[in-house]
Amino acid sequence: MGVVIDLRDELRIRHLARMLVEDLGLDVHELGGEPLDFAKDLLSRVDGLPEGHGESIEEDHPELFELLRKNKQKAVG
């Protein structure tokens, strides 16, 4: 029997990433990207900011950033 993969988090992240892009009024497809790629890039930029400088975007989309960080930790180890 094969391995069962739970896709709920992945699907939720993709949905929330689309909502983030819509909320920001961006068309990432025109820029040659996908909402999920944009959200991951944004997470790395927000995490690279000094304490307190990226809170606004996180406050608006807390579930997305929480799931992205959780996913990132799984990938690392």
Taking only the tens of pLDDT, the chain with its 77 residues reads 677 777 898 899 999 999 999 999 988 888 788 999 999 999 999 888 888 777 788 889 999 999 999 988 887 76
Residue 56 vs residues 46, 49, 66, 74: alpha-carbon distances, Å: 10, 12, 14, 25
Closest CA to 11 of 40, 36, 32, 28: 36
User: In whole angstroms, what is the distance from residue 77 CA to residue 26 CA?
Assistant: 33
